[in-house]
Structure 1
Amino acid sequence: MPRVRLDRAALNRTIRGASRGELDSAARLTLNLAKLFAPVKTGRLRASGRIESRRTLGLRTIYTIGFDVHYAPFVNDGTKPHKIRPKRAKALKFNVGGRTVFATVVNHPGTKANPFLDRALQRVAANRGYQFKHD
């Protein structure tokens, strides 16, 4: 699950005394923007967005915003060039230009990152005066 975090020290200075409602609102807004920024092919990525909140011993609430489909990190962060090999069959089967092609290995060129979650968090952080730091 791709994750983005705010700079904790800056966040603590910025929102010390902020209500839980303010933090809930910021988390919901971040998730909603991330869903808007997410690419849509089938809608599964967008529909899988979730917010988890938990309290720590210091009674602070920690929010995690993520997407529960296995390919979400690949969309958000991109991929490097890699080889694709069949897992259950002897060959891969796909269509190219209307023809069926079989191959034992495919050299995938990688995919460009589409940091939809990062963009959402950056926008919410900037609008609310929080400092943003990518891990």
Structure 2
Amino acid sequence: EVPAGPYDALLEAAASALDANDFPGAVQAYKNVLVDDPGNPEAKLGLAQAELLGRVQSMDPQAVRKEAADNPGDVNAQIAAADLDLVGGHVEDAFGRLVEAVRRTAGDDRNTARLRLLELFEVIGPEDPRVT
């Protein structure tokens, strides 16, 4: 029998919230683990996934994609489209879109795009070769 870890119940509650599409509940549950164990890989991955799913939940994919296509210099439009790309399984498209946004922008816009790229790396996980 595998001994239960100190955070197993919290992680299970977070995963259950995620499965039930309770993204705010999942985010809070994962954050509760990370307060005591900031390096917990399962909580870090779960938090990134819950935040991403919470962001795309209310998006109109067609409108978001049109906005991004019509406004290549709009960092927020590119970020929203990258979130949709990732949720749709188009990992390379999401990363490419944000790398291009970082390359094309400066200042706060550049930093915003860079930070979202790092967040999406967390969603995929550090073991994925597309992150390295």
Q: When the two structures are superposed, what TM-score results if normalisation uses the length of structure 1? A: 0.25
Which structure has greater helix proportion? 2
Which structure has the larger Rg over C-alpha atoms?
1
Which structure has greater strand proportion? 1
